[in-house]
Amino acid sequence: MPRKRLSMRRIREVLRLKYECGLTNRQIAKSQLIGRVTVAEYLHRAEKAGLQWPLSEDWDDSELEHRLFRLPFSELTGRRPLPDWARLHQELRRPGVTLFLLWQEYRADHPNGYQYSQFCDRYRQFARKLHPSMRQVHRAGEKAFVDFSGKKLEIVDPRTGEVTPVELFVGVLGASSHIYAEATRDQSLPCWIDAHVRMVEAWKGSPAIFVPDNLKSGVSKASRYEPDLNRTYQDFARFYGSVIIPARPYRARDKAKAEVSVLLAQRWILAVLRNRVFFSLAELNAAIGELLLILNDRPMQKLGVSRRELLEQVDRPALKPLPPGRYEFAEWKTCSVNIDYHIEVDHNLYSVPYQLCREKVEARFTQSTVEVFYKSRRIASHQRLRGRGRSSTQPQHMPRAHRAHAEWTPSRLISWAEKTGPQTAQLVSGIMQSRAHPEQGYRACLGIMRLGQTHGAARLEAASRRACRLQAFSYRTIKNILSAGMDRLPWEEEHTSLSAVPIHDNIRGAAYYAAPKEEARC
């Protein structure tokens, strides 16, 4: 019943607008400046009192009031059954479930139950009695809250006795409050990502949203409005079909689930293990796993069901299925393309298309591969090199001139020379054998190929024969022979002309040097 009863004149007007004008309850409420629930209540009273429109002319306001309010409203409607608020609170976590839908189902089972407004008010009263962190309505499979515990565990080296502190990673699903925890060596990016991978594998599905705190492993630059996320963390979320929405800085309510779960992990895991000594991370995580089973199987005080039961009933059916393969940890790096169309990753060089010289690209590198992206498009992929100072160059990334030069090998150059003739093949082979490295003779051989295109194969073969007899294995020798036309001279004439010594008084000859020393002195 409304706190303040309307006058009989306004009640008559409500009845007239309904039965004579045929207006809806919403239109009547707007016309009379009263609540829609108030209109529904007066019409319900009129229906229960058996009133018909138009009202009898003999009825004054007192008669109308007596007929409408002779019985309390509770007696008119009968006893109203109360919904199971705990069950409704769990149902609200399912995708697409709203209070209005639950109220409709409630009224279908109990026609004399509460109206929608009272139904909502009573549910909110129930929700206020829960823990403040549970006031948020978390949808099934929607969010997973992740964080590191501020308090640490310890591992002892069995040989030296050195004590090493380790971190405790904690994750919790929003709808079921199911907790996952494991020890990691530190808060570095590889440990952060590996813990996430094992967490979704333990849940056998991934949530739609990961809600981390603003630690550096997850958020490169914290911001209330546009946080800058770590590329590897984004890559991980994309692999599992999820998104990352970090909690706002200094807003603990955004990650209340994580705060409560960290507190529970500290009480039921750290505190229980405080007196035990562990010699390896695997041994410590085995003990944590045993305590997690106990924690997740314990019934929650407010709802009366365990976290594991809620995981199976609410969250797991709504989680995204895991991809066929496991996520492989990958790092990202922004690189500048050098003038030799290579980028540097971990002290090794990898080629990209030469058109991108001096551009900025992004390299994504795993243990096995290096991928290069330009404006979000993959432009190159290499096997990752080990060691330092090595390079991986793909022919399609090179300019045409570089590609042609790179395609030449000693065997290919000799094979080309054999097509010209055996003397040219001997010349090319001699050029490469006379160098410390065969590659040093490539340019000379390519220059000789060009001379063959200019002067013809026959002249080049003849010039090569003359150069081989002189043991002059060089490009310059072939060029001088062809320029002087010496390739056209017979070898005998040249040999004779070169060996004949003219007669002159100043030329002593070989006999002079063969004479006895005493005679030479005279």
Pair 367, 384: CB distance under 8 Å: yes
Helix (H) or strand (E) holding 122: helix 116-128
Whether the pLDDT of residue 4 is over 70: the answer is no
Contacts (Cβ under 8 Å, ≥6 apart) of 46 = 15, 68
C-alpha to C-alpha distance for 431 and 437, rounded to whole angstroms = 10
Q: Quote the CA–CA distance of 125 and 142 in Å, as a whole number.
A: 25
Q: What is the arithmetic mean of pLDDT over 317-327?
A: 89
Contact 201, 193 (CB under 8 A): no
Query: How confident is the model at residue 183, as a pLDDT?
Result: 92
Distance between CA 213 and CA 314 in Å, rounded? 25
The tens digit of pLDDT for each residue in 201-231 reads: 999 999 988 888 766 565 654 444 445 677 8
Residue 78, amino acid: G
Q: How far apart are CA 244 and CA 144, in angstroms?
A: 10
Amino acid at 109: D
**For residue 133, pLDDT beyond 60:** no
Q: What pTM was computed for the model?
A: 0.52
Confidence check: pLDDT of 513 > 60:
no
What's the CA dihedral at 340, 343, 349, 353 to 10 degrees? -60
Host H or E run for residue 281: helix 281-297
Terminal Cα-to-Cα distance of the chain (whole angstroms): 155
**pLDDT score at 134:** 42
Domains of the chain: 8-77 (no CATH), 85-129 (no CATH), 143-318 (3.30.420.10), 331-401 (no CATH), 408-489 (no CATH)
Sheet holding 348-351, edge to edge: 342-345, 348-351, 391-392
DSSP annotation of 239 reads H
- Top mean pLDDT of 94-103, 291-300, 441-450 is at 291-300
| Residue with the two structure tokens 């009825």 | 59
Give CA–CA dist 449/464, Å, rounded: 12
CA dihedral 258, 316, 308, 89 (to 10 degrees): 70
